[in-house]
Amino acid sequence: MDDRFSVQQVVEIAIEIEKNGVTFYRSLAESADTARLRELFVYLAEEEKRHVARFQEILESTGGYQISEAYYATQYMGYMKALADERVFRSDISVAEAADRARSPREAIDIAIGFEKDSILFLHEMCGLVPESDRGTIQKLLDEERDHVRRLSAIKAQIS
């Protein structure tokens, strides 16, 4: 059985990660205790929605692009498979359930920061798999995810 991914499959996984992020942040927004947290989570849900659209564009641009055999010759694709299997916002745990696990605003932010960090790791590794022409887009998405971590961390620091 061939457990290698095509670049299209990797991008499709990234799309699912972002879609699950939308659902997760919407759930957090609905249960937020303060207007400030609600606004943050609504903003992050909208950001994830934008990312879905950008990944759709990348998916369309990949066409018949093939990942080089050099990547397959190493353990790299096994590593990507492990990252993808975790899927950042995993499918075996509903995102609503993950949001419900947060017993406090601080805990919700901790969960969100963890998800954003996992997204950063996945996107960073994905950069080497997409066509050169799409790497700039992935880099912009990485920068946005890093900004999400900064925003979440700043609000977490302000919560008593």
Q: So what's the pLDDT on residue 99?
A: 67
User: Which residue in 122, 118, 158, 123 sits closest to 24, CA to CA?
Assistant: 118
Secondary structure class of 127 (helix, strand, coil) = coil
| Cβ partners under 8 Å of residue 1, min gap 6 | none
Q: What is the mean pLDDT of the chain?
A: 78
User: Which residue in 159, 129, 127, 155 sits closest to 143, CA to CA?
Assistant: 127
pLDDT in tens, 122-142: 888 878 777 788 788 888 889
CB count within 10 Å of CB 49 equals 15
Secondary structure class of 34 (helix, strand, coil) = coil
| Cβ partners under 8 Å of residue 87, min gap 6 | 13, 16, 17, 20
- With 90 as the cut, is the pLDDT of residue 42 above it? yes
Query: In angstroms, how far is the first alpha carbon of the chain from the final one?
Result: 52
Mean pLDDT calculated for residue range 22-47: 89
| 7-158 to CATH, choices 3.40.50.720, 1.20.1300.10, 1.10.3720.10, 1.20.1260.10 | 1.20.1260.10
Position 157 confidence tier, pLDDT thresholds 50, 70, 90:
very high
- With 90 as the cut, is the pLDDT of residue 46 above it? yes
Q: Rounded to two decimals, what is the model's pTM?
A: 0.75
Q: So what's the pLDDT on residue 2?
A: 44
CA–centroid distance for 137 within its chain: 14
Mean pLDDT calculated for residue range 63-83: 60
Number of residues assigned to the chain: 160
Q: What is the dihedral of CA 61, 51, 122, 101, to 10 degrees?
A: -150
Between the alpha carbon of residue 9 and those of residues 112, 129, 133, 157, the distances in Å are: 25, 11, 18, 38
More confident residue, 53 or 66: 53
Domain boundaries, the chain: 7-158
